[in-house]
Amino acid sequence: MGAVAFSQAGFDNNSKKANKKRDEIREMRDELLARAYEEKPSIKKEVKKAEGYAAFTNIGVNIIIASAAGGSGIVVDNKNGKEVFMKMGSGGVGFGAGVKDYRAIMVFSNRETMEKFIESGWDFSGQAEASAKAGEKGGAAETAGNAPSGVKLYQFTEAGLALQATVQATKYWVAKDWN
């Protein structure tokens, strides 16, 4: 009986952590969409008519010749309301320095692309940017490349200072412990 009670307590704790993480991701998504709709109202129409969309938070670091980033997010299927919680990580090479906290929205115009993203989730990209932002002050000039056909990508810098030109590989994967 003691082993069962201990096992159940561990499950309940993991379940609470997963619920908390899902709630945090949903809150990030809601805040990001509100910001996107305010800054670029046409995004609202795009998201509404799309097969689905994704919202991710990401913190990246670039030190001289290497870059690394990690984050989490959610993919929402507009047709059935299904949510898939995901993690992401990236690494790359290039020149630059900085730390940046940013958010991204991906709008999927076709189902096949969205499903492929959930299943395999790779994005190889080149990136050039200059950004400096703290709170409401500052700005960013960003070019992120390589969104596959059927995906529109929007990036929003939250905070950070970065000057970089990198080639990165990004992997998105389903977070089994959150779904």
Backbone angles phi, psi at 80, to 5 degrees: -125, 0
Tokens of 176: 């089994």
Question: Is the Cα dihedral 17, 74, 34, 134 positive or negative?
Answer: positive
Give 91 or 51, the one with higher predicted confidence. 51
Please give the backbone phi and psi of residue 112, each rounded to the nearest 5 degrees, phi first: -60, -45
User: What sign results for the dihedral spanned by CA atoms 67, 173, 152, 74?
Assistant: negative
Q: How many residues does the chain have?
A: 179
Check residue 124 and give its pLDDT. Answer: 59
The token pair at 47 is: 């998201």
pLDDT digits (tens, 9 = 90+) for 114-169: 999 999 887 656 554 444 444 454 444 343 444 567 899 998 887 656 565 667 78
What is the DSSP secondary-structure string of 51-109? SEEEEEEEEEEEEEEEEEEEEEEEEEETTT--EEEEEEEEEEEEEEEEEEEEEEEEEES
The pLDDT of residue 104 is above 70 = yes
pTM (global) more than 0.85:
no
At 74-98, the pLDDT tens digits run 999 999 999 999 999 988 887 777 7
Cα(38)–Cα(96) distance, integer angstroms: 31
**Buried (b) or exposed (e) across 15-44, using 16+ Cβ within 10 A?**
eeebeeebeebeebbeebbeebeeeeeebe
User: CA-CA-CA-CA torsion for 118, 173, 78, 19, nearest 10 degrees?
Assistant: 150
Q: Per-residue confidence at 105, pLDDT binned at 50, 70, 90?
A: very high
